Amino acid sequence: MNIIRNAIAGTMESSDLIVTVTPGSGLTIDIQSPVKRQFGDSIRRSAEEIAQDLGVTDAVISIEDHGALDCTIRARIETALLRASKEE
Amino acid sequence: MSKLINSIEEAIRVTGLKDGMTISFHHHLRNGDYVLNMVVDAIAKAGIKDITINASSIHEVHAPLVDHIKSGVVTGLECNYMGAAVGKEISRGIMKKPVIFRTHGGRPSDIMTGKSHIDVAFIAAPTSDDMGNCTGKIGKSACGSLGYAFSDAEKADKVVVITDNLVPYPLTDFSIPEIYVDYVVSVDKIGDPKGIVSGTTKITRDPVGLKIARYAVECIQASGLLKDGFSFQTGAGGASLAAAAYLKDIMVRDNIKGSYVMGGITGYMVDMLNAGCFEAILDVQCFDLKAVESIRTNPKHREVSGSQYASPTAKSCAVDGLDVVILGATEIDMDFNVNVHTDSNGYIMGGSGGHSDTAAGAKMAMIVAPLVRARVPIVTKKVQCITTPGSTIDVLVTQRGIAVNPARQDLIEKFKAAKLPVVTIEELYDKAMEIVGNYQPVELGDRVVAEVVYRDGTVIDRIRQVIE
């Protein structure tokens, strides 16, 4: 799947996250989170898995997490990637 | 004769303040306080160094302290609570000497017994006359009770009252009398009213918080303590206030006449007093405008000192007569030890306040908290910092069940008989871990940045530096 435009999914609420996806070469994952020490590795793994499942190899995925659970993180990343792969 | 002097600068000069001394402050102006910063700025300008600050609390507004610590003006800090602005920097290790944390009862106890010596106390007073009779009940910066300042006034070598509402002698409705006061300084503003009292303190609308509040009240009913003469304290957190609101409905409905209610006082406590749920409010600290109005006008709403509130060495104190206290927690462990000092990353962002005092005194000490807060589990194997020992905590109420300290088999039986969802704390831990997934505990450094002194004077725990 090709990332052809910028897209966003999520909110700024506590226990949610905002995912911003932009086109790029190679896969870059940037994570900001108040619980990065406890869950940074887990968030990165989830992002990599979703990208792999969707066949995304080139994108910048920026995650601004506010303590979301893993299911929420996966859903937001998937949505942002799908939005970024479609023409307006 | 008048004790009026011209400025804070003059106060520093005439009190003989010099390198190495200890000065003190109270925190009734909360996050609106200007006085601590004004005094420490003036001390820095006078070239004085190596000062220890003994304040009942340090709030976000006191962030300028960070620079004064870095420059060596302030080299010691003692308090009962510290907000994140200064707390985070302390956790990073900016101060050589560890911070001394006490409790709201332990601080006045140590001051009154002479363990904590204060050279100069600076007392922010919303109204004072020129001899130092002062009160927090009136004035443009009114804050209500001045309870935490009483011990400082009584025991400090020199006492300076700083006011922004100077009235003719004698101010009759004083809280602190002139007999303790050396000097009075009149300034434009001692604080920002918006930070001193909140307009209204709001009850949570979060369904999780409301469920926890409902469980908490059902526990109180099941405990058998809710009857005539009932005494109660609750915090000002959303779920705690929601519990107070439910409790009020039940007390009104069943015509239960309680004895007294305490703590940081909000409009909800005032409503309970006015509805006849309680005979009295014992007030060491007001949180909102309605509480300030009430303490000014209602004789049943009584200002009390920090010692009378919670001192373990006073001949008696009010926490020892409490039936129920509802408290919060950032963490609670398998032994029911509670942390309210540090956040999930180990940074200082709080302190006991009256947490451990009320837990020790109350017949039933309850913790109300959501099982998981923004992916951080409330229940852990071992808390990062013991604020309040588990031996004094009886019940943990979460939305996923109620855990009772195994030492309280009587409560377990009563709660089960009332069909409350009683679980073990281990079960709550497992449930929390299942929800958050892949939790990696935070590693802390070795250097001690703060010592937590329990109300009996023993060091109950040490807070370690956060390595970034």
**CA–CA min distance A61, chain B (Å):** 21
Q: What is the pLDDT of residue B235?
A: 82
Q: What is the pLDDT of residue B199?
A: 64
User: Are B255 and B319 contained in the same domain?
Assistant: yes
Q: What is the pLDDT of residue B454?
A: 98
Within 8 A by CB and 6+ apart from B295, the residues are B137, B144, B145, B265, B281, B283, B286, B301, B302, B303
Q: What is the pLDDT of residue B236?
A: 78
B435 pLDDT band, cuts 50/70/90, is: very high
A38 CB near a chain B CB, below 8 Å?
A: yes
User: Are B367 and B410 contained in the same domain?
Assistant: yes
**CA–CA min distance A51, chain B (Å):** 20
- Give the percent of chain B with pLDDT over 70: 99
Within 8 A by CB and 6+ apart from A45, the residues are none
Q: What is the pLDDT of residue B228?
A: 98
Q: What is the pLDDT of residue B204?
A: 83
**What is the set of domains in chain A, with CATH numbers?**
7-84 (3.30.230.10)
A49 CB near a chain B CB, below 8 Å?
A: no
Segment B125-131 shows an average pLDDT of 98
Structure tokens at B94: 């900016």
Per residue in B45-89, pLDDT (tens digit) is 999 999 999 999 999 999 999 999 999 999 999 999 999 999 999
Mean of all residue pLDDT scores within chain B: 96
A14 CB near a chain B CB, below 8 Å?
A: yes
Segment B256-267 shows an average pLDDT of 94
Q: Is residue B347 part of a domain?
A: yes
Helix H or strand E segment including B412: helix B409-417
Q: What is the pLDDT of residue B352?
A: 96
**B2 burial via Cβ count (<10 Å: 0-12, 13-18, 19+):** exposed
Per residue in B443-454, pLDDT (tens digit) is 899 999 999 999
CB contact under 8 A, B374 and A69: no
Q: What is the pLDDT of residue B201?
A: 66
Give the number of domains in chain B: 2
- Give the percent of chain B with pLDDT over 90: 93
Choose the closest CB to A38 out of B373, B435, B440: B440
Which domain does B51 fall in, by range? 4-56+104-196
User: Are B306 and B269 contained in the same domain?
Assistant: yes
CB environment B432-468: b (16+ within 10 A), e (fewer):
bbebbeebeebebeeebbbbbbbbeeeebbebbbbee
Are the beta carbons of B341 and B350 closer than 8 angstroms? yes
Q: What is the pLDDT of residue B197?
A: 81
Q: Is residue B77 part of a domain?
A: no
3-state secondary structure of B226: coil
Q: Which region among B7-11, B146-150, B194-198, B450-454 has the lowest average model confidence (pLDDT)? A: B194-198
B264 pLDDT band, cuts 50/70/90, is: confident
**CA–CA min distance A76, chain B (Å):** 16
CB contact under 8 A, A37 and B440: yes
B200 pLDDT band, cuts 50/70/90, is: low
Q: What is the pLDDT of residue B419?
A: 98
Segment B415-428 shows an average pLDDT of 98
Contacts of B344 in chain A (CB under 8 A): 34-35, 38
> Residue B90 and residue B300: Cα distance in Å, rounded?
41
Question: Domain boundary residue among B196, B228, B248?
Answer: B196
Contacts of B345 in chain A (CB under 8 A): 34-35, 37
Segment B391-405 shows an average pLDDT of 98
Q: Is residue B447 part of a domain?
A: no
Q: Is residue B159 part of a domain?
A: yes
Is the pLDDT at A88 greater than 60? The verdict is no
User: Are B333 and B370 contained in the same domain?
Assistant: yes
Is the pLDDT at B224 greater than 90? The verdict is yes
Are the beta carbons of B323 and B230 closer than 8 angstroms? yes
Q: Is residue B454 part of a domain?
A: no
Q: What is the pLDDT of residue B389?
A: 98
Taking alpha carbons only, the member of B208, B213, B201, B254 closest to residue B230 is B254
User: Are B229 and B151 contained in the same domain?
Assistant: no
Mean of all residue pLDDT scores within chain A: 95
Q: Is residue B122 part of a domain?
A: yes
Contacts of B468 in chain A (CB under 8 A): none
Q: Which region among B208-217, B262-271, B325-334, B407-416 has the lowest average model confidence (pLDDT)? A: B262-271
Q: Is residue B33 part of a domain?
A: yes
Within 8 A by CB and 6+ apart from B90, the residues are B77, B82, B99, B348, B449, B450
> Residue A68 and residue A13: Cα distance in Å, rounded?
9
**CA–CA min distance B78, chain A (Å):** 28
Per residue in B92-118, pLDDT (tens digit) is 999 999 999 999 999 999 999 999 999
Cα B57 to Cα B39, B82, B298: the distances in Å are 16, 6, 27
CB contact under 8 A, A69 and B437: yes
Per residue in B149-178, pLDDT (tens digit) is 999 999 999 999 999 999 999 999 999 999
User: Are B298 and B351 contained in the same domain?
Assistant: yes
> Residue B20 and residue B119: Cα distance in Å, rounded?
10
Choose the closest CB to A39 out of B373, B375, B435: B375
User: Are B265 and B232 contained in the same domain?
Assistant: yes
User: Are B349 and B379 contained in the same domain?
Assistant: yes
User: Are B367 and B393 contained in the same domain?
Assistant: yes
Q: Which region among B179-188, B293-302, B325-334, B439-448 has the lowest average model confidence (pLDDT)? A: B439-448
Question: Domain boundary residue among B163, B196, B229?
Answer: B196
User: Are B225 and B141 contained in the same domain?
Assistant: no
User: Are B283 and B148 contained in the same domain?
Assistant: no
Contacts of A69 in chain B (CB under 8 A): 375, 435-437
Contacts of B437 in chain A (CB under 8 A): 42, 69-70
Contacts of A66 in chain B (CB under 8 A): 374
Q: Domain of B22: which CATH number? A: 3.40.1080.10
Per residue in A40-86, pLDDT (tens digit) is 999 999 999 999 999 999 999 999 999 999 999 999 999 999 999 97
The residue of A38, A49, A71 whose CB has the most chain B CBs within 10 angstroms, and thus the best one to mutate to test that interface, is A38
CB contact under 8 A, B376 and A37: no
Question: Domain boundary residue among B196, B219, B248?
Answer: B196
**CA–CA min distance B152, chain A (Å):** 38
- The beta-strand segments (E) located in chain A are 7-10, 17-22, 27-32, 59-65
Are the beta carbons of B70 and B94 closer than 8 angstroms? yes
- Residue A8 CB coordination number (10 Å): 16
User: Are B133 and B42 contained in the same domain?
Assistant: yes
Q: Is residue B296 part of a domain?
A: yes
